[in-house]
Chain A
Amino acid sequence: VERFLGRFAPPLYAILRIIAGLMFLLHGTQKILGWPGGKGGGGPLPLLPTIAGWLEMILGLLIAIGLFGSFAAFLASGEMAVAYFKAHAPQAFWPIVNEGELAVLYCFLFLYIAAAGSGIWSVDAARKGMRPHVG
């Protein structure tokens, strides 16, 4: 599979980054704007979810379009680590039982994106591509 899929690795990485960024962004809009799903249900949010919501909206968007992708992903990864240990880990040991599996997966995925950068189909790539022409 590596041999025939291998050359598609950069676009598949871009698709993964964009989808993960957008779904992460939707967690933010769900917290702050009550969309999608209308979980918010009345009353102002406590401080911590408000901060988390704004982080998710901003970082999710940056990751999806690939602007400052490394920094955004690093912050998002840290946020997910905090979220996991605050909201999920006290409930049970295994991620699959404490419902923190998604947080774990986002955490490690964003850590990888932080290390690897935005890759192709990103604003970062476009900016880098412009530099040799300008310089």
Chain B
Amino acid sequence: MSRFTPHAFALLRFFAGVMFAMHGTRKLWGWPGEGNAATAALSITAGWIEVITGTLMAVGLVGSYAAFLASGTMAFAYWMRHGTKAFLPIENRGELAVLYCFLFLWIAAHGSGAFSLDALRTRRQTHDG
């Protein structure tokens, strides 16, 4: 299986990024789903961060920085909304936030990997230099 590791990483990065961005679109424009768009300043800020960093991670452009910022946002969201309600993530409904937080922290360290714009940019640099 190990020769598929770059492919599996690219799939994981892409789907996590897209789903993360959709939390943002739901907050900002009420789509997908039937909720209303958010009005609180904090939610709007979070929504923009999610849209922008999620998209950047999905296409793999400055993926490390985007993932680092997204990870921090999730840590903040967890302690703001979930961590105070119950101890275990499965009970306080913060499991998704925990998983995103640690996943993005690792992506920040790992970089965008294969099939990303970052990979294209690096390749061009090595050709030029």
Contacts and interface: CB of A to CB of B under 8 A. Distances in A.
A43 interface: no
A20 B102 contact: yes
B15 interface: yes
A74 B95 contact: no
Interface string A41-79: 000000000000000000000000000001000100000
Nearest to A116: B5
Contact of B111 (A6, A13, A16, A36): A6
A130 interface: no
Interface string A83-127: 000000000111111000110111011011011110000000000
B32 A36 contact: no
Given A2-B111, A36-B90, A102-B95, A112 B9 contact: yes
Contacts of B33: 94, 96-97
Given A23-B89, A102-B95, A108-B15, A114 B1 contact: yes
A128 to B, nearest CB: 13
A129 interface: no
B58 interface: no
The B contact surface, by secondary structure, is helix
Contacts of B88: 26, 36-37
Highest count of chain A CB atoms <10 Å: which of B7, B12, B16, B105: B12
B8 interface: yes
Interface residues of B, number: 38
Nearest to A113: B8
Contacts of A96: 19, 22-23, 26, 32-33
For the complex, would chain A's binding face be called helix, strand, loop or mixed by DSSP majority? helix
A133 B91 CA distance: 45
Interface of A: 1-2, 5-6, 8-9, 12-13, 15-16, 19-20, 23, 26-27, 30, 36-37, 70, 74, 92-97, 101-102, 104-106, 108-109, 111-112, 114-117
29 contacts: A1-B108, A2-B109, A5-B108, A6-B109, A6-B110, A6-B111, A9-B110, A12-B109, A15-B102, A23-B99, A26-B88, A37-B88, A37-B91, A70-B1, A94-B22, A94-B32, A94-B33, A95-B19, A96-B26, A96-B33, A97-B33, A101-B19, A105-B19, A108-B8, A109-B99, A111-B12, A112-B9, A115-B4, A115-B8
